[in-house]
Amino acid sequence: MNPVDLYMLAGIAITLIALYAALTRAHLFWKVLAINLMGTGIFLILLAAPSRRTPEIADPLPQAMVLTGIVVAVAATALALGIALRVIARSDLPFLPDGDEDDPDSPGSTGEASR
Amino acid sequence: MTALGLLLDASVVLLLVALATRLLLTRHLFEAIVLFVSYGLTLSLAWVRLGAPNIALAEAALGAGVTGALFLNTYQRLAERIGDGAKSPLLEDDGSQDPPSWFKGLLGGGVILLGLGAGWALIGAGRRPAFLPHEIAARLPETGVQNPVTGVLLNFRGYDTLLEIAVLVAAMAGVWSLDRGSRRFGRARGEPDEDPVLHALTRFAVPVTVVTAVYLTWVGSTEPGGAFQAGSLLAGAGVLLTVAGILPPPTAASRPVRAMVAGGMAGFVLAGIAVLPLTGQFLHYPEGWAYPMILGIEALLTVSIAVVLVELFVDVPAVPEPDPALESIDPSGDPLGRALRGGEDS
């Protein structure tokens, strides 16, 4: 196995572990961390996959895309943290409120009654 | 590839997966943040191994540095509000709100299947010869620069880079409007930071960082470097200066900050329009002018990116003030905000 393949497989693993965490951790900060890590996994795939095809020349196009992606990811993370902090300021809890605030145990509620 | 190189690659890959798993599964926020910074630094090693020093520079400064600082600052603000030793779901997640285990099991199975499918598809496919890297290499002289990544970013795909700056400006507007521009960060005036370590570090690190950033912008046309890496480094210096209380926090409420951020995008758009009569295409630089135009745009972008990133650090991570408009709708809302105000009165 070629070392570039190792990085590509790591990218797949990290993307999927982060996807699992983003969907199973209710805590908003871990959701933000998980979405950020999903991005880095995708970056690894984006960069490793083309260098398997043309090992003799580094492909600058995915490099430029990943560079742009890193900067956008920082901006998105900052915005997500700001929104999470608004949630905390409202409820004192780092969790998304369930639809119906009167009954936290009803996951499927649309919350029409509470407004 | 030597055996030693393969060993290094295998270690980096294993470390990356282990760090990611641990930081996503731990219940302690502080541990997760420290692991996140370690992950970012390890990832920049991976970029070096993949032959992408341009990305490694940006990852170390942004992925590990600025993002880590964002999380740490958030953590510190929350910890101060909660008080020493107190347990709070804000910083320690007990998992009580997590979905039921049947959902986790189902999702875990699905994720593993997806991973096997993706691995099979990506390992099996992709043997077709690629023509694009050769095409870029052949036409690189037309871009006016010798660093192919800079050539792609500012010439071939100039649109993408322009829109990226637009994304940054939009993120800044979003973060600022969450705050409504009230001051969130920094020490009160006349309260200098007495921490000698922080001051010594700032005095040593900031000049070196600024010189390195200018060098990276300049050299970006021929060697690894450019506006993104230099802007990230400058942002790191700006965060350090703000934390040390030397620089007033550059919030988006201030006009100079807005001007510097808008300047990057405005300069880019104006350069694109200015070449229209000469070449008939937006952002199509006329022959012989590509290099000076790219250098000028990169200098503007460096400042813009740095200011946006410091602004995102300054304006985001604090517990927002209670919103009187919302409180009048729901008087029971915002207990943390009320606790904060109670704490300030006493």
Q: Residue B93 and residue A25: Cβ atoms within 8 Å?
A: yes
Mark whether B172 and B266 lie in a shared domain. Answer: yes
ipTM for the predicted complex: 0.84
Q: Does the residue A109 lie in any domain?
A: no
Q: Does the residue B116 lie in any domain?
A: no
| pLDDT per residue as tens digits for the range B172-212 | 888 888 765 454 555 444 455 567 888 888 888 999 999 99
**A residues 34-93 near B, CB within 8 Å?**
34, 36-37, 40-41, 43-45, 47-54, 57-61, 63-68, 70-79, 81-83, 85-86, 88-93
Q: Containing domain of residue A34, as a range?
A: 3-91
Mark whether B240 and B310 lie in a shared domain. Answer: yes
| pLDDT per residue as tens digits for the range A18-62 | 999 999 998 899 999 999 999 999 999 998 887 777 666 778 888
Mark whether B300 and B157 lie in a shared domain. Answer: yes
Helices A28-53 and B29-49: crossing angle in degrees, nearest 10, is: 10
d(CA B184, CA B251): 9
Q: Residue A64 and residue B29: Cβ atoms within 8 Å?
A: no
d(CA A5, CA B120): 12
For residue A7, give the chain B residue with the closest CA. B13
Cβ contact B120:A5 at 8 Å: no
- Which of B9, B33, B38, B50 has the highest number of chain A CBs within 10 A, making it the mutation to test binding with A? B50
Mark whether B155 and B86 lie in a shared domain. Answer: no
Which H/E stretch holds residue B293?
helix B290-315
Neighbours of A86 (CB within 10 A): 16
**Residue B44 tokens, joined:** 């920049």
- Considering chain B, what percentage of its residues have pLDDT values greater than 70? 84
Count of structural domains within chain B: 2
Q: Does the residue A25 lie in any domain?
A: yes
Which residue shows structure tokens 């926090």? B249
| pLDDT per residue as tens digits for the range B88-114 | 777 888 777 788 889 889 999 999 999
Residues of B with CB below 8 A from A68's CB? 153, 160-161, 164, 228
In this structure, the dihedral spanned by the alpha carbons of residues A32, B251, B320 and A94, taken in order and rounded to 10 degrees, is 10
- Considering chain B, what percentage of its residues have pLDDT values greater than 90? 21
Mark whether B81 and B194 lie in a shared domain. Answer: no
CB-nearest to B164 from A6, A66, A72 is A72
Count of structural domains within chain A: 1
Residues of A with CB below 8 A from B72's CB? none
DSSP code string of B110-161? HHHHHHHHHHHHHHHS--SPP-HHHHHHHHGGGGT-S-HHHHIIIIITHHHH
Mark whether B298 and B203 lie in a shared domain. Answer: yes
Q: Does the residue B345 lie in any domain?
A: no
User: Alpha carbon of B112 to those of A4, A32, A89, A90, B24: distances in Å?
Assistant: 21, 22, 37, 37, 17
The pLDDT of residue B41 is 94
Residue count of chain A, please give it. 115
Which of B109, B102, B9 lies closest to A16, judged by CA?
A: B109
Q: Residue B127 and residue A44: Cβ atoms within 8 Å?
A: no
Q: Containing domain of residue B186, as a range?
A: 147-320
Q: Does the residue B140 lie in any domain?
A: no
Q: Give A94's DSSP letter.
A: S
| pLDDT per residue as tens digits for the range B36-46 | 999 999 999 99
- The answer to whether residue A84 scores a pLDDT higher than 50 is yes
Which residue shows structure tokens 């998304």? A96
Q: Residue A51 and residue B70: Cβ atoms within 8 Å?
A: no
Q: If pLDDT is split at 50, 70 and 90, which confidence band does B35 have?
A: very high
Which residue shows structure tokens 């021929």? B222
**Residue B243 tokens, joined:** 């934390």
Residues of B with CB below 8 A from A65's CB? 160
DSSP code string of A59-80? -HHHHHHHHHHHHHHHHHHHHH
Judged on CB neighbours under 10 Å (0-12, 13-18, 19+), B80 is exposed
Mark whether B154 and B256 lie in a shared domain. Answer: yes
The Cα of B208 is separated from the nearest Cα of chain A by a number of Å equal to: 22
Mark whether B191 and B259 lie in a shared domain. Answer: yes
Which residue shows structure tokens 């942002």? B235
d(CA A83, CA A85): 5
Task: Return the bridge partners of B28, or none.
Answer: B92
d(CA A69, CA A93): 31
CB-nearest to B54 from A20, A63, A82 is A63
Q: What is the CATH number of the domain that holds A71?
A: 1.10.287
**Residue A81 tokens, joined:** 């943290």
Q: Residue B89 and residue A26: Cβ atoms within 8 Å?
A: no
Residues of B with CB below 8 A from A8's CB? 122-123
The Cα of A112 is separated from the nearest Cα of chain B by a number of Å equal to: 16
Q: Does the residue A110 lie in any domain?
A: no
The Cα of B201 is separated from the nearest Cα of chain A by a number of Å equal to: 24
Mark whether B157 and B297 lie in a shared domain. Answer: yes
